[in-house]
Amino acid sequence: MTVVLDMDECLLHSKFHGPGAASEAYRQLEERPDAVNEVNSFWVALDDGDTAQVNKRPGLDPFLEALARDYNTIVFTAAMPDYAGPVLDYIDPKGTLFHRRLYRSSCRQVKGAFLKDLSVLGVESTDMSRTVLVDNNPLSFICQPTNGILVASFYDDPNDTALASVMQLIRHLDQAGDVRPILKDMFRLDTLLGEYRTALFDDDDDADVDCILDDDDEEEEDLLEGCLEAGQQERAEAAAAPGGDEKGLLLDVLVAEEEQQQQEEGSANGDGQQQLQGEDVECLKDDDDDESVKTEACSEGSGDSSLGDESLTSREEMELELEF
């Protein structure tokens, strides 16, 4: 099985120091809150004289060693190689943990968003049944949403246990002939990102929504403009207006999809939990982490827990995790 890993805020979190230490020069532009605690860290020197303090997600080293031993492991980052290269060299000095490294130039850039199109791996379409992408940014999954494992962003919490849960899920997926049906039921990213994907790619085949992007305005790229369906147009215009919230439409879409799904499921399914058949799996995020999108449903009372669909109950929770 092929396991593709994001780097920033998935495996580690970096802080830049120096006269020109603007992180946007090396990484994609995202909201990154200040670290709350220090964890196992190291320093790397960058070519322009800046330095980066890199904090490793707890359990990173054994996680990567186990993956490299049993799977085809690839790191796929939207960061620039002059920053990501030295970081990965430190993590993998012998070049044995990652079979390949893919940087920003391998991303599919659409209206300012860096999408991770797994077709760049050069595998046949049938191999997608044995490929997963682990990432903290929902936009990374737009090209192949049913191959995605969405994890909470890491900002230096020393008690974070996400990688152990990801490893457990990967072991479970390895027993399946096709990972996509399991991940589709678990995260429902194809549904939650559906309208935004349609807007990004101007997909006229979707009869429910017909959104377009402003190709001419580079300063406001990635802003949705002119959703023609009733009820979508107002949000799209607000998002595309000068000074508007470019995340607004996507957040509304995700929250609306989740609310509709919960209404359809009704009380029989409680909070929308979906149990994995034949095996209990821990949640992907810590139970005490209230400031991230919940990408799993944890059963209560019985002590058992499973990875299920997201409990996206409010716009505020969504906004903490959706990053551009």
- Does 6 qualify as catalytic in the annotation? yes
pLDDT band for position 198 (50/70/90)?
Answer: confident
In this predicted structure, the answer to whether residue 201 has a pLDDT above a threshold of 60 is yes
Catalytic residue selected from 6, 50, 135, 160: 6
Catalytic residue selected from 8, 156, 160, 309: 8
Please state, in angstroms and as integers, the Cα–Cα distance from residue 26 to each residue in 15, 40, 82, 138, 165, following that order: 11, 22, 7, 20, 29
In this predicted structure, the answer to whether residue 89 has a pLDDT above a threshold of 80 is yes
Residue with the larger pLDDT of the pair 6 and 202 = 6
Nearest to 28 by CA among 84, 90, 73: 84
Domains, in order of start, for the chain: 2-187 (3.40.50.1000), 188-272 (no CATH)
What is the structure's pLDDT at 294? 36
Residue with the larger pLDDT of the pair 13 and 37 = 13
Average pLDDT value for the chain:
70
Q: How many CB atoms lie within 10 A of CB 23?
A: 18
In this predicted structure, the answer to whether residue 136 has a pLDDT above a threshold of 90 is yes
pLDDT band for position 264 (50/70/90)?
Answer: low
Q: What is the mean pLDDT of residues 217-230?
A: 32
In this predicted structure, the answer to whether residue 55 has a pLDDT above a threshold of 60 is yes
On the CB side of 309, how many CA atoms lie within 13 Å of its CA?
A: 24
Are 296 and 150 within 8 A, CB to CB?
no
Beta strand pairing call for 2-5 and 72-76 = parallel
- Least confident range of 67-76, 162-171, 178-187, 283-292: 283-292
pLDDT band for position 276 (50/70/90)?
Answer: very low
Token digits for 314? 């409010």
Nearest to 289 by CA among 179, 158, 198: 158
